[in-house]
């Protein structure tokens, strides 16, 4: 079940919120846990038990780690509590990649496991890991209630595709959260705006990308349209999910942190990654980069730390060499900026800084979206006129006319322009009318698209 579906919007969500509303305060987490498990079971019935095992294991590990804090037994328990969830993630997500690589290098014929990837395993594993590590560090006491810890891990708004919520962020909300009509209204607005980004922008950009892949009349311009469209699609798709998750969380009384902050307005790759998928970047910073020594070590060691983090970042997104190369691509660029490039960038005109970032990111997503290096190289050759393609074609012009307005809307939507206009009229008589009307109109239009079957699953479901 996905947020942008009729069954979620008009069956699951209303029933869940109604049951949550009428439940007494002490039973609200039980209600949330039940419906969150139902939400996951709907899409992954056979792997629900795997998630419950991870929760139960980390619950027991947290209690033992707290009891043995400062001892060798506590450190050993931490090692085991990190190894087990990561081991499950490795088996289900990476086993066939490692087997296939071993077969290629050695000529062996080890059979692949061919295990289906459990939805959301990359996200809920990192959340469970952050809990046990924070207990070991003394940043939070171990959770005494299995129900509360399970609710944290399984909470359906962010279960499938993030943002990666730290236990310390919501620990207080799990037991003493407050509710208000103001937060409900803000949550509904945030959810519907996210739904609009997904259905009316990301999905249509996805259609343009599909048109490029299926075209028998490619061109250089069409290749660039594809690359730009996918770069915008993945932003609107993933940030839309984060918006909807934050919105539902606000309705339920939870305060999830922001996950995107207009990354395409960045003036450096360093800034871009402070604005893109913030929860993942901060997770790797706090649980990998800083424990490795961060920037408190010698320059060569710091370079090594950065490369390790970005190799893992790429690998987190998918079991493939293209993903790992995508991560290392950004790792190398960040090192170059840190060593010398940033001081030159800061002196350059703003438009040149923005162009640099957008160009680098567009190229990166061509690699990210390619199944193989051959496909990525073929796409890049087409973009730079090395594939013998014409500058444009009839199919290019047709799709440019069909999607031109959408691309302009996406360009504008990827900047804070609309948000800034909204802030200026906030609190005025215009906003009191315009806001509920816009929410209603977006919901109606999105519903019409979904009834018509015009929707795609979220891109980050496959990661």
Same domain, 364 and 450: yes
Residue 451 within a domain? yes
- Domain limits for position 456: 183-267+346-462
Do residues 147 and 33 share a domain? yes
Q: In this predicted structure, what is the pLDDT of residue 318?
A: 87
Q: How far apart are CA 209 and CA 222, in angstroms?
A: 10
User: 261 with 385, same domain?
Assistant: yes
So what's the pLDDT on residue 69? 81
The total number of structural domains in the chain stands at 2
Q: Known catalytic residue: 317?
A: yes
| Structural domain contains residue 273 | no
Q: What is the pLDDT of residue 454?
A: 57
Looking at residue 442, what is its pLDDT? 93
Instruction: Give the Å distances, CA to CA, from 188 to 15, 53, 159.
Output: 15, 33, 19
Q: Please tell me whether residue 333 adopts helix, strand or coil conformation.
A: helix
Lowest mean pLDDT among 64-78, 226-240, 369-383, 388-402: 64-78
Alpha-helical (H) ranges within 369-428 are: 373-383, 394-413, 417-425
C-alpha span between 451 and 463 (Å, rounded):
27
Do 112 and 58 have their domain in common? yes
pLDDT band at residue 462 under the 50/70/90 scheme: low
Q: Would you state the pLDDT for residue 303?
A: 94
Of 179, 277, 317, 354, the catalytic one is 317
Would 405 be classed as within a structural domain? yes
Number of H helices, E strands in the chain: 23, 0
Asked whether the beta carbons of 316 and 280 are under 8 A apart, the reply is: yes
Contact 241, 195 (CB under 8 A): no
157 & 198 share domain: no
Q: Choose among 399, 409, 93, 452: nearest CA to 223.
A: 399
pTM of the model: 0.91
Query: Looking at 142, 177, 212, which one is the last position of a domain?
Result: 177
**Averaged pLDDT for residues 145-163:** 89
Domain boundary among 147, 177, 207: 177
Say if residue 146 is in the same domain as residue 217: no
Residues 405-448: tens digit of each pLDDT: 999 999 999 999 988 888 888 778 787 888 889 999 999 999 98
366, 453: one domain: yes
Whether 289 maps to a domain, the answer reads no
Task: Give CA–CA dist 181/135, Å, rounded.
Answer: 34
Instruction: Tell which of 112, 145, 177 closes a domain.
Output: 177
| Whether residue 258 is found in the same domain as residue 112 | no
In this predicted structure, what is the pLDDT of residue 261? 94
At 22, the pLDDT band (50, 70, 90 cuts) reads very high
- State the DSSP code for 12: I
Contacts of residue 306, Cβ cutoff 8 Å, sequence gap at least 6: 289, 331, 334, 335, 338
The rounded distance, in Å, linking the Cα atoms of 90 and 280 is 18
Q: Are residues 69 and 203 in the same domain?
A: no
Give pLDDT, residue 427.
74
Q: What is the pLDDT of residues 281-301, one digit of tens each?
A: 999 999 999 999 988 899 899
Q: CA-CA distance, 95 to 84, in Å (whole number)?
A: 15
The DSSP code for 25 is G
372 in the same domain as 238: yes
- On whether residue 432 sits in a domain, the answer given is yes
pLDDT band at 161 (very low <50, low <70, confident <90, very high): confident
Instruction: Return the percentage of the chain with pLDDT > 90, whole number.
Output: 68
Residues 262 and 365 in one domain: yes
What is the residue-wise DSSP string for 432-460?
HHHHHHHHHHHHHHHHHHHHTT-----GG
**CA-based end-to-end distance of the chain:** 16
Confidence band of 204 (pLDDT split at 50, 70, 90): very high
CA distances from 18 to 1, 3, 12, 35, 148 (A): 19, 17, 10, 12, 20
Asked if residue 402 belongs to a domain, the reply is: yes
pLDDT at 368 over 70: yes
The pLDDT of residue 176 is: 86
Phi, psi of 139 (to 5 degrees): -75, -20
Band of residue 4 on the pLDDT scale cut at 50, 70, 90 = confident
- Give the C-alpha distances (Å, rounded to integers) separating 226 from 129, 144, 206, 330, 350: 37, 51, 9, 21, 26
Flag whether 278 is in a domain. no
Mean pLDDT computed over 51-74? 90
- Model pLDDT, residue 44: 78
**Closest alpha carbon to 368 in 425, 312, 318, 322:** 322
Nearest-angstrom CA–CA distance, 43 and 255: 26
Are residues 253 and 146 part of one domain?
no
Q: Average pLDDT over the chain, rounded to whole?
A: 91
445 belongs to a structural domain: yes
Kindly indicate the confidence band of residue 452, based on its pLDDT and cuts at 50, 70 and 90: confident
pLDDT of 457: 59
């Amino acid at each position: 079940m996905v947020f942008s579906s009729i069954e979620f919007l008009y069956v699951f969500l209303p029933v869940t919120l109604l049951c949550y509303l009428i439940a007494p305060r002490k039973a609200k987490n039980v209600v949330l846990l039940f419906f969150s498990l139902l939400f996951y079971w709907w899409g992954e019935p056979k792997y629900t038990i795997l998630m419950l095992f991870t929760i139960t294991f980390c619950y027991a590990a947290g209690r033992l780690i707290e009891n043995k804090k400062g001892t060798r037994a506590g450190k050993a328990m931490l090692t085991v509590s990190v190894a087990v969830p990561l081991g499950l993630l490795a088996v289900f997500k990476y086993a066939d990649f490692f087997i296939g690589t071993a077969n290629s290098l050695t000529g062996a014929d080890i059979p692949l496991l061919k295990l289906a990837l459990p939805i959301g395993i990359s996200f809920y594993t990192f959340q469970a890991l952050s809990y046990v590590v924070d207990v070991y560090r003394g940043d939070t006491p171990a959770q005494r209630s299995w129900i509360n810890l399970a609710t944290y891990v399984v909470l359906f708004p962010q279960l499938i595709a993030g943002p990666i919520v730290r236990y310390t962020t919501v620990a207080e909300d799990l037991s003493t959260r407050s509710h208000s009509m103001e937060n409900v209204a803000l949550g509904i607005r945030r959810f519907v705006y996210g739904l609009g980004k997904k259905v009316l922008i990301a999905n249509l950009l996805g259609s343009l990308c599909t048109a490029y892949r299926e075209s028998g009349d490619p061109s250089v311009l069409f290749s660039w349209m594809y690359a730009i469209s996918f770069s915008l699609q993945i932003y609107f798709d993933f940030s839309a999910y984060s918006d909807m998750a934050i919105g539902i969380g606000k309705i339920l009384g939870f305060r999830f942190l922001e996950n995107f902050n207009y990354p395409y307005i960045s003036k450096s790759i360093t800034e871009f990654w402070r604005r893109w998928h913030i929860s993942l970047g901060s997770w790797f910073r706090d649980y990998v980069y800083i424990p490795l020594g961060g920037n408190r070590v010698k320059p060569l060691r710091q370079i090594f730390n950065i490369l390790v983090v970005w190799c893992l970042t790429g690998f987190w997104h998918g079991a493939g060499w293209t993903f790992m190369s995508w991560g290392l691509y950004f790792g190398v660029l960040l090192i170059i900026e840190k060593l010398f490039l940033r001081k030159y960038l800061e002196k350059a005109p703003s438009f040149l800084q923005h162009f640099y970032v957008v160009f680098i990111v567009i190229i990166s997503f061509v690699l990210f979206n390619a199944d193989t290096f051959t496909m990525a190289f073929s796409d890049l050759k087409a973009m730079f006129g090395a594939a013998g393609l014409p500058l444009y074609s009839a199919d290019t012009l047709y799709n440019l006319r069909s999607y031109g307005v959408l691309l302009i809307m996406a360009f504008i939507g990827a900047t804070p322009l609309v948000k800034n206009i909204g802030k200026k009229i906030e609190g005025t008589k215009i906003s009191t009318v315009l806001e509920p009307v816009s929410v209603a109109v977006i919901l109606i239009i999105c519903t019409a698209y979904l009834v018509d079957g015009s929707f795609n699953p979220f891109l980050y479901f496959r990661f």
